[in-house]
Amino acid sequence: MRIEKILSEFDGLGLEIAVIVPEGNPKGVIQFSHGMAEHKERYYDFMNYLSDHGYVCVIHDHRGHGGSVEKAEDYGFFYTENEQAIIEDLHTVTKYIKHIYSGLPVFLFSHSMGTLVARGYLKRYDSEIDKVVLCGPPTYNAAAGLGLLLARLSKPFIKEKAPNKMLNAMAFSQFNAGNSIPNGWLSENQANVAQYNQDPKCGFIFTTNGFVNLLRLQKAAFEKRNWHVSNPHLPILVIAGEEDPVIRSRKRFEQLIAFLSELGYTNISSKLYEHMRHEILNEEKKLDVYKDILLFYDEFQHTTSYSQV
C-alpha cells in the first residue's frame, strides 16, 4: 500500500489517497467514494480482498474527512458551499488513476453520502467509468430543501467550523430509535459499532457548511435537469441492507432504481441483504457482500493492454 497527497483541481485542497496494488497484472482499477463522517482506512479490508482478486484499489478521504483537511479541527468542514467541489475531487482522483493505470477499466464503488457524490459525478462523467456500485444509497427526501433553509438561517448563530448539532439531530435522531448504543443503526455487528464509536476520525458532526454541501448533493441527486446520460449502458449495481434506515424503505429503494432507469440507464441490478443495516461491508456476513460485488466487477470483459506511467 502507498499513501499519497494530490491536489484537488477545484481549489487546490490536499486530498490524501491510499493505493493497494495486486500481484501480477491487474484486471482493473476500483475507485472508492466513502461515506459521511468516516475515512478511507475503514475500507482497507475490502480493498485487500479485491486486490487479492486482481484489482488495483484507490481511495481518497473526502474533503473535511480523514487526511483531506487543512487542520484536524476541520472535520466536517468542506472549505466551500459549492457541492461541485467534492464531485470534482472524485474526478481529480479518476484522472490520477487514468494517468498511472492507462488502459485499465475503472470501476467505482460508493457508499452512503459517497453515493450522492457518485451520482453527481455520473451527471457529467458517466462515460469515464465502466461500472458503478451504489451501496447504502440515500433515497429521495423532500425535506432536503427545508434543511437547506434551516442551514442558512442558523449560520449567524453558529461559528463557521462548529458542529451544527441542530441539523444533525434533525437528520439522524430517528435513525437510532430502538438501539441501546450510539450509532447502533450502522450495523447489526455490535463490534463494528463499538469500533466506530471509539474512532476519533468517525462520527463527528458536520459544520453548517458541511450540511449545506450534503443537502445540496441530496437535492441534486434527484434532479433530472443537467443530468447528461452519455453512457446509458453503464452497469449499475444498487445494494443495501434490508434494515438500513438510510434507504428509508424497500419502496423508496425501488423508487431510486426506477429514477435511474427513467434517466436512461438500461443496465441496473439491485439487491437487499436480510438482517443487515447500513454498513453491509462491516456486518458479520460481509463476505457474502464482498463476493457479490466482486462478481459484478468480474463480469466485465476487457482486452485493452495495461501500461504504467
The secondary structure of 278-300 as a DSSP string is: S-GGGSTTHHHHHHHHHHHHHT-
For residue 125, the model assigns a pLDDT of 98
Residue extents of the structural domains in the chain: 2-301
For residue 180, the model assigns a pLDDT of 87
For residue 75, the model assigns a pLDDT of 98
Q: Are 91 and 125 in contact (CB under 8 A)?
A: yes
For residue 271, the model assigns a pLDDT of 98
Low-confidence ranges of the chain (pLDDT < 70): 300-309
E-strand stretches of the chain:
2-7, 14-20, 28-33, 55-60, 101-102, 106-111, 131-135, 236-241, 268-273, 307-308
CATH number for the domain formed by residue range(s) 2-301:
3.40.50.1820
For residue 305, the model assigns a pLDDT of 34
For residue 300, the model assigns a pLDDT of 61
- What's the whole-model pTM score? 0.96
For residue range 27-67, list pLDDT tens digits in order.
Answer: 999 999 999 999 999 999 999 999 999 999 999 999 999 99
Q: Are 60 and 5 in contact (CB under 8 A)?
A: no
